[in-house]
A and B are shown apart, each in its own frame.
Chain A
Amino acid sequence: MGTEISPKVDPSRVIEHETYELEGVDISGHWNRMFEQRVIFDYDVEQLDRVTALGGGESMGYCYQCAQCIAVCPVDHVGDYGPRKIYRKLQVGMDFFTSDDLWLCTTCGNCLRVCPKEVDMLQIIPAVRKEAVLEGTVPPELQDVFEKTARYGNPLGKNSKRRHAWTKGLDVEVPIIADLDRKVDVLWWVSDYPSYHPRGMEASRSLARVLTKLGIDFAILGAEERHDGDSMLRAGEQGLFEMLADQNIETLNKYEFDVLLTTDPHAYNAFLNEYPARGGEYNVEHYSTFLAGRIEELGLSENIGSKVTFHDPCYLGRQNGVYDEPRELIEALPGVELVEMWRIRQNGYCCGGGGGGMWLDGFAADNQNMRLSEKRVLEAVETGADTLCVVCPYEVSRFEDAVKSTNNDEALVVRDISELLAQAMGLATG
């Protein structure tokens, strides 16, 4: 092999700007290559073989460099990363298992949608990360979240006893199913951020009011609810996912209910696609589809007077095919005009929170020139909308932070669909 990269330069800290001018000199493009060895002295294809030997990693070897993935990879637009580039780097000997590239994928799945060779990053990334987790080469901030989730049952490291603290003092009753000691029609799986995050809690209170107004017989698990595990699985912590899934299935087995209602598309995905293999089969519904089926009963009468754009969550839309129902709800809001962003539905741009991205914010900042959520907020502002409507609890906080960091506080507010519905129903929000 050739000379080593100078230890004075940590390539992971070098940020490439697509266009950049320094003291009047245009240094756009791959100027950071100057810090790396120029000549390729070998093709150490063993690194590619290591990936394709993994269960789930096989299709990494199928890439024929058409590069369709790059145009739809959300990360490549804010950094130099994409599936077909991973393949080339593996050919020239990148150790993917210890590479920063391993942690940039948000498992949004848009590359697989357009890939003519069906290179499946949704399988490849978790398979390689699983090995990195076993080796202990996980970015510290994500490792911290793994440990918190294992210990407390939620990635925020909050006390499980306070999981339903958001219901305290609420103007409607939110029963705990263990207290009811009977079957309910709907068991609402609230999830972590709607239980603990201030903005998530506001959305939860709105949804509780909407469900109550509809006369739905519902209850929550309260302190017995844990993280669903889906994002842990995508982030490579398969063991943690299995532990959580088995605990959750055991908890759910204790109670009788017809519908398992989820707030979080990631939980929805887990219950729909991952839990059945472990013996947990439920009639699971996302709250957007649940409410869209009851539009007439909602009694939407208050004028909202707003121009709204909608962000498709990857794990509701692209992964599970739900695109229309959230839009039906928005269009049913009085005085609301729905304006669409550039990349929507199957081609929806990722918020950056999936696949562990929720807990890699600092890491992403080191490797990208912008957060994905910031890129998306700029697209939302471009539509002329005053409201960005979301139906995924990862997004309220991500997008609100992005609205601030891109100086769009005056232009755009971020609201959960349940908050907009509660307002239109004349109910209290917040």
Chain B
Amino acid sequence: MRSDRVVVVGAGPAGLEAARLAAELGSPVTLIEKRDVAGGMPIHSDYAALTHHFRSASGAMAEMIDAVTSNHLIDIRTGTEITAVDGAAGEFSVTLSANGSTEDIDAGAVILATGFQHFDPGRETQQYQYYEYADVITIAEAEKMLKDENFVTPSTGKPPERVAFIQCVGSRDRQIGNEYCSKVCCGISSKQAIEIREMVPAARVFIFYIDMRMYGYWENEIYWPAQEQHKVNYVKGIITEILSKNGRLVVRGEDTTMGRPMEVEMDMVILAVGMEPSQGTRAMADVLSLPTNKYGFIDTDHDILDTVTTTVPGVYVAGAATGPADLDDSISSAGAAAAKAVSMLRSATVTV
């Protein structure tokens, strides 16, 4: 049946913004979230401060959630999954599943905002001994420690004296199969380095990198302050491996601008893991028969002038479901997806 309802899948930053804007434009919205709480990765993964404005993640997400819960046009369904989508643009039938029962709802358009998951550095390769050494953690785990304001070496419970970040873990790698740059990790590592220096002033922090990708204002807002005010040490040359010697972690690599091999002891190593398509993104690509790229992210129709329209009419995509995206990009694409969905529903004819 024809419907002017917009179904938004995923209540992370992109989904919340798409739902908010579609409703603000006057469309009824059903916002579906698989997890029991809204807020997406920033809440689920306990992010501390957001990159790049250092605003509290929980504060920012609470504001986004308030904006949708206070709008009577938006129906939020947490703990709910989509198992089938039938019909065509303007008259979809969407099957929802929650607590073992199913329900079909009518919708005119679907916006996917199913996001990403963090790369698991133990899965593809044991190069960094992530599963073996307690003091080798990911930037996602570091976020939680920073949020709890208890930044300590996991094995000892004491504040670390020397901390190393390793960039590009699970990104830019042909062997792993993730050839893309994950865009945000350089900024997040630098942001965390600043937070660590503020929380544990005695800690020396090193960032080992191939290229620092601090585009636009991230350069002057994060990179320069990290180096100049917070005394974070940047070393060009990625760490090849982490070994244990005499009970301490030793990072091994090359200091490339010095042209010399390097073996340095560290208390803690933080792996700057990149993004991969989330399980939800993969599942929805199946449900909607959406083409994905070789990495499993959802393909848009590759028109540089339209970043949110998929090859299935009436289905739009926002945020990191299409590939690595920072928060600014996710919010922007969510706005574009909401506007296009509502505009399609209001146009006299629907092109199928």
Produce 1/0 per residue, A339-359, CB < 8 A to B: 000110001000000000000
User: Which residues on A sit within 8 Å (CB–CB) of B168?
Assistant: 66, 116
Instruction: State which residues 255-281 of B face A: CB under 8 Å.
Output: 256, 258-262
CA distance A68 to B169 in the complex (A): 12
A255 to chain B, nearest CB (A): 41
Contact A70 B240 (CB under 8 A): yes
Contact A114 B173 (CB under 8 A): no
Question: At the interface, yes or no: B172 with Cβ under 8 Å from chain A?
Answer: yes
B245 to chain A, nearest CB (A): 7
Instruction: State which residues 232-257 of B face A: CB under 8 Å.
Output: 237-241, 243, 245, 252-254, 256
Instruction: State which residues 216-269 of A face B: CB under 8 Å.
Output: none
Contact A71 B254 (CB under 8 A): yes
- Which partner residue on chain A sits nearest B167 by CB separation? A66
Q: Known: A85-B259, A347-B241. Contact between A70 and B172, CB under 8 A?
A: no
Question: At the interface, yes or no: A115 with Cβ under 8 Å from chain B?
Answer: yes
User: Which residues on A sit within 8 Å (CB–CB) of B210?
Assistant: 64-67
Contact B174 A118 (CB under 8 A): yes
Q: Known: A66-B210, A71-B253. Contact between A114 and B127, CB under 8 A?
A: yes
Number of interface residues of B (CB under 8 A): 24
Question: At the interface, yes or no: A80 with Cβ under 8 Å from chain B?
Answer: yes
Question: At the interface, yes or no: B351 with Cβ under 8 Å from chain A?
Answer: no
> In the complex, which of the residues B174, B176, B253 contacts A68, with contact meaning CB atoms closer than 8 Å?
B253
> In the complex, which of the residues B176, B238, B239, B261 contacts A76, with contact meaning CB atoms closer than 8 Å?
B261
User: Which residues on B sit within 8 Å (CB–CB) of A84?
Assistant: 254, 256
Q: Known: A71-B252, A71-B253, A117-B174. Contact between A80 and B259, CB under 8 A?
A: yes
A94 to chain B, nearest CB (A): 15
> In the complex, which of the residues A68, A117, A342 contacts B240, with contact meaning CB atoms closer than 8 Å?
A68
- Which partner residue on chain B sits nearest A28 by CB separation? B260
> In the complex, which of the residues B245, B253, B260 contacts A18, with contact meaning CB atoms closer than 8 Å?
B260
B210 to chain A, nearest CB (A): 4
Instruction: State which residues 50-107 of A face B: CB under 8 Å.
Output: 64-72, 76-77, 80, 82, 84-85
**Which bucket holds chain A's interface residue count?**
20 to 34
- Which partner residue on chain A sits nearest B251 by CB separation? A71
Instruction: State which residues 15-37 of A face B: CB under 8 Å.
Output: 18, 29-30
B276 to chain A, nearest CB (A): 16
Q: Known: A30-B259, A84-B256. Contact between A67 and B238, CB under 8 A?
A: yes
B281 to chain A, nearest CB (A): 24
Contact B256 A67 (CB under 8 A): yes
CA distance A347 to B259 in the complex (A): 22
CA distance A30 to B257 in the complex (A): 12
CA distance A114 to B254 in the complex (A): 13
User: Which residues on A sit within 8 Å (CB–CB) of B238?
Assistant: 66-68
User: Which residues on B sit within 8 Å (CB–CB) of A65?
Assistant: 210, 256
- Which partner residue on chain A sits nearest B127 by CB separation? A114
CA distance A342 to B244 in the complex (A): 9
B32 to chain A, nearest CB (A): 37
Q: Known: A64-B210, A66-B238, A114-B241. Contact between A82 and B175, CB under 8 A?
A: no
User: Which residues on A sit within 8 Å (CB–CB) of B241?
Assistant: 71-72, 114, 347
Contact B260 A67 (CB under 8 A): no
Contact A72 B254 (CB under 8 A): no
Contact B256 A114 (CB under 8 A): no
B211 to chain A, nearest CB (A): 8
Residue among A66, A77, A80, A114 with max Cβ neighbours from chain B (10 Å): A66
User: Which residues on A sit within 8 Å (CB–CB) of B262?
Assistant: 71
Contact B173 A70 (CB under 8 A): no
Produce 1/0 per residue, A117-156, CB < 8 A to B: 1100000000000000000000000000000000000000
B81 to chain A, nearest CB (A): 35
Produce 1/0 per residue, B76-95, CB < 8 A to A: 00000000000000000000
User: Which residues on B sit within 8 Å (CB–CB) of A118?
Assistant: 174-175
User: Which residues on B sit within 8 Å (CB–CB) of A347?
Assistant: 241
CA distance A18 to B254 in the complex (A): 13
CA distance A188 to B171 in the complex (A): 47
CA distance A88 to B174 in the complex (A): 21
User: Which residues on B sit within 8 Å (CB–CB) of A116?
Assistant: 168, 172-176
Contact A342 B261 (CB under 8 A): no
Q: Known: A66-B210, A115-B175, A116-B173. Contact between A71 and B261, CB under 8 A?
A: yes
Contact A67 B253 (CB under 8 A): yes
Q: Known: A65-B256, A114-B241, A342-B243. Contact between A70 and B261, CB under 8 A?
A: yes
CA distance A65 to B237 in the complex (A): 8
- Which partner residue on chain B sits nearest A118 by CB separation? B174
Contact B245 A342 (CB under 8 A): yes
User: Which residues on B sit within 8 Å (CB–CB) of A72?
Assistant: 240-241, 252
A400 to chain B, nearest CB (A): 27
Contact A114 B240 (CB under 8 A): yes
B141 to chain A, nearest CB (A): 23
CA distance A68 to B255 in the complex (A): 10
User: Which residues on B sit within 8 Å (CB–CB) of A70?
Assistant: 237, 240, 253-254, 256, 261
- Which partner residue on chain B sits nearest A346 by CB separation? B126
Instruction: State which residues 330-385 of A face B: CB under 8 Å.
Output: 342-343, 347
Instruction: State which residues 26-46 of B face A: CB under 8 Å.
Output: none
User: Which residues on B sit within 8 Å (CB–CB) of A77?
Assistant: 261
User: Which residues on A sit within 8 Å (CB–CB) of B237?
Assistant: 66-67, 70
CA distance A71 to B239 in the complex (A): 8
User: Which residues on A sit within 8 Å (CB–CB) of B261?
Assistant: 70-71, 76-77
Contact B254 A82 (CB under 8 A): yes
- Which partner residue on chain A sits nearest B255 by CB separation? A67
- Which partner residue on chain A sits nearest B262 by CB separation? A71
User: Which residues on B sit within 8 Å (CB–CB) of A342?
Assistant: 243, 245
Produce 1/0 per residue, B279-309, CB < 8 A to A: 0000000000000000000000000000000
CA distance A69 to B240 in the complex (A): 7
B9 to chain A, nearest CB (A): 33
State the 5 A-B residue pairs at the shortest beta-carbon distance, nearest first.
Answer: A70-B254, A71-B240, A116-B173, A67-B254, A68-B240
* Residues in chain A within 8 A of chain B (CB atoms): 18, 29-30, 64-72, 76-77, 80, 82, 84-85, 114-118, 342-343, 347
